[in-house]
A and B are shown apart, each in its own frame.
Chain A
């Protein structure tokens, strides 16, 4: 909502400047976003009469004119097509300034002296889309009776300021200049002047000429109608055009402008019908028939449903109630008799209609936020009065006022003590009463320590005690509230074990040199195919978003990888070649139909992606990321939680991954995730080329396993003995199986067994590989002898030979 500073001054005495006013309003809850001066630097531009206007002798489009601002004639060259002798126009004299610092100087145009400039709206800094269309391409034409020499800023209202309000939904009362004035009055402690009704009616009675019937009284609570006969359609005066322009409404003609003016002034949307176009001179307010069609003022055909409320004459629909009028009955240049509608439509109904038709108007905006139903007759009368003032004609006596659904006045209770209890500082009852009285909240009774206040009809947001407390607090001033900390019982704050685990994973991944990323939870459905998911992969059953902005946000992710892979690709495009990212976020699983009690299954996953090389510099060589690097990251992470019994099972049939370089990870027999090299086709699907290692871990599974207990073993007192053992086995024998046999047969003396070399090639038979283990033997109570160690060593070797046909490498 935008409102003019000068307009507000018509209702309430304001002695502070617009910026100060903005500050006061903002502090108390009606935020003023901007204060915009209407005058963008215009000075010394005056109303002038064009005395003569001839063709410029040296030009076919310029005119040579003489004008006067009341004294001697001044010669000026003017290029506007609509300049003509006899017109009154804005004239910038020599020395005048225009917007953006333009200064008017004496000039010679094609040999002729030009001492000033006749101005167009644009040249005066007025936005073109807010002026009447016929003046768009030329100079502004002022009314003939404008006194010559009057400052144009005064005439066009340029000595004004626009207050741009940023209203919260509860303060939709301020979609009315008068209601903003009430707020200003309360804040400044000033009276508000409501415009007086003063008009003559003729002897005709409206009830003899028009009828209104409300069929759907649940949706139309009140309908007021008046008539003005014999109007003359013309542009409205500049002052009204100015206020409308400030409010963001384009002036059209005096009748339509009055309806818009009243809407902006009083918050009551109005509609003016051409009386003679209303068939049967009867209006019926009813629900639309399913599929009924109406052509609205914006020349669009609209198909309606039975939920939509219509204004109809005897033959057809003439308007969508509260949203937009119909084309068939609109006021035109030929209109003579006008029927004015002022009604109250049920907010939810208007809101639904406006959503259903995708049609929002200044009117629907106000209706859906609840207008002041008690003001409806006044608005209609004031409109009639203004129409007569501006367009002539006669106001018919009487007023149609159908009011089937009466609104009760609201009385809100308040225990004055409660104010202090909520706000945190005691505010005296007299102060409370004073603040509320300024807001037109009148104390109507007191009972058992509770005061009751009558809520003004234009403040539908106030109904309960808390609303009154807010009114008091905001006017009292939040700056005046002290700063304390909550008392009461102490509470032990903290994070949950699951939150702690996620934080530890984040810390570990960061410590291991990975960069954390955050990607969107919703992804394009085509990622299922990009990841080469099997047709029956349960991850394909993702949750669809009903109203996404684009397909890229169409489904909730069931894997954390797609977003991460897109980030990889983008980074590569930006020449970031070596990348190690992790993300912790939720994936979403559909479990049957979702409803209010059965929500989606949401699980935190850890995703890791590696691409390119490790860091390097003059002193460290880079190595390519590989499967084993990724595996180590996982191992380090599992170590944080002391999760033992980790098994990496080769996985050949996950289509997302390389069939020979992928493992499923099991911990204590629970599958917790997958790591591996991505399948080359997946890499390609994301627009990349080189190898990518990726893994996805289900953190919820890790959490379910719980942390292992930390228990420290004593340090040995006797020295250990090391032995190496290099054996040759078939190349497909997994190393871990040999390790298991070694450990199982190492008796109590084998403390540790590590693989320190894996070799295939020369000296080793084809189809074989050599694995070298470092074995560490130790006893708690003695230094071991060679004999003891040899015995265990031989036993291990025999078992390896037996199980894997292993033999010592020559």
Chain B
């Protein structure tokens, strides 16, 4: 009987080995271990065995059952895994194909620069102020120490609406408005950014362009502070390595006035086409607020000092993104816009 059991085991193992489907395994289970299965049938004969033999055969039968079961489980797990692998293999796709088409929105480069500037300056404690674009001659010129007939008005070609109203030629027009709004409180710390207009239309001038203006008025404000704020801004905007230098200049609303250059963002100061081989890029005008402007804003120049600066957004965008043609900014060609 023991021999027979061993034979069944042998038979079962061979049969299972040859089976490659879960159904087949199930059949095996029924065939060998089921109620009418071969092992069961043999065990029904157990009664005929002697009392000594019975436990031995019983144990052997149990072992064989366990072995077969174990093998069945292993084989079934194997087949399942095989099947899964086969399925996954069938499902493979070309991952190098592009993804689903989603619309790509973009911000205009000028907005990007102004957003950056907003973030930098609000982080430095500046409020973002605003003013009208159709502005009075007073705020655009006179309050800025530029009376009518001042020769420096020639620096800008102005669009007039009537003799008292202009399209603002500079965001500096917001300076005195911002001071008035503060009503004498300190500190005044504002930036303003937006559109300005000048009668100039050629390859390097647009009749409408954008400026960023800054104004700080408080006790003990110095040119050293101006340098400090500008350095922060420039390095945030163009990178830590950029340095700046101040050159004397002239604006009617600041005294002293300076022109600020930054080391060339293209060549790092070695000299290249972008900086006309000077290593420096002219980027903004600044200075200490003229006493007449402080007075116009309701502040006493004996008690407070201040600095102001102004820069062209187009210029910064062109340098930052390597744009070589100003006109691209307002042509709004999709092929240009999509690059931002």
Contacts and interface: CB of A to CB of B under 8 A. Distances in A.
A473 B254 CA distance: 14
B248 A478 contact: yes
B123 A493 contact: yes
A29 B249 contact: yes
A547 interface: yes
Contact of A482 (B106, B224, B330): B224
Interface stretch (B8-16, B19-27, B151-159): B151-159
Contacts of B159: 522, 545-548, 553
A521 B160 contact: no
B125 interface: yes
B223 A487 contact: no
Contact of A422 (B137, B229, B288): B288
Interface stretch (A85-93, A139-147, A236-244, A612-620): A612-620
Interface in B53-100: 97-100
A321 to B, nearest CB: 16
Contact of A576 (B136, B305, B334): B334
13 contacts: A31-B249, A348-B149, A421-B222, A421-B305, A422-B305, A466-B255, A466-B291, A470-B248, A479-B245, A493-B126, A493-B128, A614-B101, A617-B101
Given A424-B222, A486-B229, A516 B162 contact: no
Given A466-B291, A495-B118, A520-B208, A570 B224 contact: no
Nearest to B118: A495
Return the 7 tightest CB-CB contacts between A and B, nearest first. Answer: A513-B103, A424-B224, A29-B248, A424-B222, A168-B250, A470-B256, A478-B246
B201 interface: yes
A567 interface: yes
B288 A352 contact: no
B132 A599 contact: yes
Interface in A583-617: 585-586, 588, 594-597, 599-600, 602, 614-617
A352 B125 CA distance: 44
Given A422-B223, A596-B136, A544 B105 contact: no
B132 A600 contact: yes
Given A170-B250, A512-B105, 17 more contacts: A470-B257, A483-B224, A483-B231, A484-B225, A491-B187, A493-B124, A495-B118, A514-B105, A515-B105, A518-B111, A522-B208, A570-B331, A576-B335, A594-B134, A595-B164, A596-B164, A617-B100
A364 B101 CA distance: 65
Interface size class of A (residues with CB under 8 A): 35 or more
Given A486-B216, A619-B101, A545 B228 contact: no
B125 A368 contact: no
Given A483-B231, A506-B111, A169 B154 contact: yes
Contacts of A619: 97-101
A510 B109 CA distance: 13
A347 B240 CA distance: 47
Contact of A519 (B207, B232, B330, B333): B330
Interface string A131-144: 00000000000000
Contacts of B223: 422-424, 473, 478, 481
A579 B121 CA distance: 34
A499 interface: yes
Given A493-B123, A599-B132, A619-B100, A467 B255 contact: yes
A709 interface: no
B115 interface: yes
Contacts of B227: 424, 478, 481-484
A488 interface: yes
Interface string B212-246: 00001011111111011101100000000000011
Given A492-B125, A495-B122, A520-B208, A602 B106 contact: no
A515 B337 contact: yes
Interface residues of B, number: 91
B186 interface: yes
Contacts of B154: 169
A496 interface: yes
B283 interface: no
A522 B167 CA distance: 10
Given A574-B335, A576-B333, A169 B208 contact: no
Contacts of B252: 169
Nearest to B139: A596
Nearest to A420: B222
A466 B101 CA distance: 62
B122 A580 contact: no
Contacts of B218: 486, 488-489
B295 interface: no
A579 B334 contact: yes
B257 to A, nearest CB: 7
A194 interface: no
Contacts of B316: none
Contacts of B219: 488
B127 interface: yes
B315 interface: no
Contacts of B231: 483
Contacts of B221: 486, 488
Contact of B247 (A478, A544, A614): A478
A710 interface: no
Max chain B C-beta neighbours (<10 A), residue from A352, A424, A519, A615: A424
B246 A481 contact: yes
